[in-house]
Amino acid sequence: MSTGIVEVDSTSFDQTSLTPFMRRRLVLPCAIFALSFLLYGSCVVGAILATSLAAKILFGVVAGVFIANLAIIGHDAIHRSFTSSRWLNRAIGTIAFLPALHPYSRWEHHHNRVHHRYTAQIGVDNAFSPMTVEQYRAASSGRRLYYRFMRSLGGQPFFYMIDIWLPKIFLPLPREARSFRALDWIDLAIVYAWLASFVIALTYISQIYSGETFGAALSNAALFGFLIPFLVWNVFISFVTIVQHTAPSAHWIMPTGRPSTHEQKLRGTVHMRFPEAIDWFFHRVMQHIVHHVNPMVPLYTLKAAENKVTAQDADRAIIELWTPAYHWRLARDCKLYDPAGDGWCNFDLVPTGQRTSAGLVLQ
């Protein structure tokens, strides 16, 4: 049985330096989870009971933000770094991911066992893996068109829902389902049951308090209580997945058949700087480097641990300040990856930086 703990490469980093930050607590994380779920539920109810369209949309959008907040909590719980209790991590991880329609064991597989194990390995890591120049040249015209759309600013928000969630998690394709264990099917059934009972409960609440017909109440519940929040969550997870491992200065490698080393994780992971309030609200999820160095650091000590790692590897740590201009440059420059040159290029196969003996230095 998986422990939820991924391999860490200790040959080039002193893992003992993170020991003070790895103490997991019990009361604090439970309070964080309970408050987040309460606020999510309040926003959903507000969305279906509000009388003005603007208020319904606003409540729905904020509910989507809290789905993201809960998913970050679930992410820690599935790493078993959120609380000091193994069974409580399992329970919180299962519940926290329900609004995002993610079964516990499928997230554990794709995130813990694939993404963390093979970080920044092209075609293996599922964090917005780029095509290589050779792969793009060999692709069909339809595949090229689809890939170009997904690498555009307009396509990026759809990446996670279309490429990861639908075919690998919620409606698994046959090749994905072949590897399912009994527990995978049970966790997926829990998600399906949640979705049905959630929409039915919201429909009932809408009918009771507004006197709507069943059809109107169902539409109200499905659109404002479920669909709008869910779409907001999907935009969030696509954004986070992209900016944490795609950057003009981030490096990807061809598959090695082995877990990524500390050096490879460091070169392929980005610490994205945001205003303190945003960073705090989203549980320091953008302080991402230490999470790949050691995923057992809980979210409530993540900032201090990140400072430790980035100070120790100051010459190699990738730290970026997110701005709209930065993201535009990311989308413009990070189209294809050239493993031979160790850098990015555009769709005209022109390097988006100056070539040096060490590879491509992007401007």
Averaged confidence pLDDT in the chain:
93
Q: Look at residue 291 in the predicted model and tell me its pLDDT.
A: 97
- How far is residue 63's CA from residue 72's CA, in Å, rounded to a whole number? 14
* Structure confidence at residue 363 as a pLDDT band (50, 70, 90): very low
Q: Look at residue 354 in the predicted model and tell me its pLDDT.
A: 41
Please determine, for residue 103, whether its predicted confidence score (pLDDT) is greater than 50. Answer: yes
Please determine, for residue 73, whether its predicted confidence score (pLDDT) is greater than 90. Answer: yes
Nearby residues of 254 by Cβ (< 8 Å), 6 or more positions away: 121, 122, 132, 339
Domain ranges of the chain: 19-362
Please determine, for residue 215, whether its predicted confidence score (pLDDT) is greater than 70. Answer: yes
Nearby residues of 181 by Cβ (< 8 Å), 6 or more positions away: 105
**How much is the average pLDDT of 210-224?**
95
Nearby residues of 314 by Cβ (< 8 Å), 6 or more positions away: none
Q: Look at residue 15 in the predicted model and tell me its pLDDT.
A: 85
Q: Look at residue 14 in the predicted model and tell me its pLDDT.
A: 80
- How far is residue 198's CA from residue 202's CA, in Å, rounded to a whole number? 6
Looking at per-residue confidence, does 350 or 230 come out higher? 230
Q: What is the DSSP string of 190-220?
A: HHHHHHHHHHHHHHHHHHHHH---HHHHHHH
Please determine, for residue 216, whether its predicted confidence score (pLDDT) is greater than 50. Answer: yes
What is the b/e burial string over 82-114, where b = at least 16 CB atoms within 10 angstroms of the residue's CB? bbeeeebbeebbbbbbbbbbbbbbbbbbbbbeb
Q: Look at residue 352 in the predicted model and tell me its pLDDT.
A: 86
* Structure confidence at residue 314 as a pLDDT band (50, 70, 90): confident
- How far is residue 29's CA from residue 8's CA, in Å, rounded to a whole number? 24
* Structure confidence at residue 12 as a pLDDT band (50, 70, 90): low
Please determine, for residue 5, whether its predicted confidence score (pLDDT) is greater than 70. Answer: no
* Structure confidence at residue 10 as a pLDDT band (50, 70, 90): very low
**How much is the average pLDDT of 117-139?**
97
Residues 277-287: pLDDT tens digits?
A: 999 999 999 99
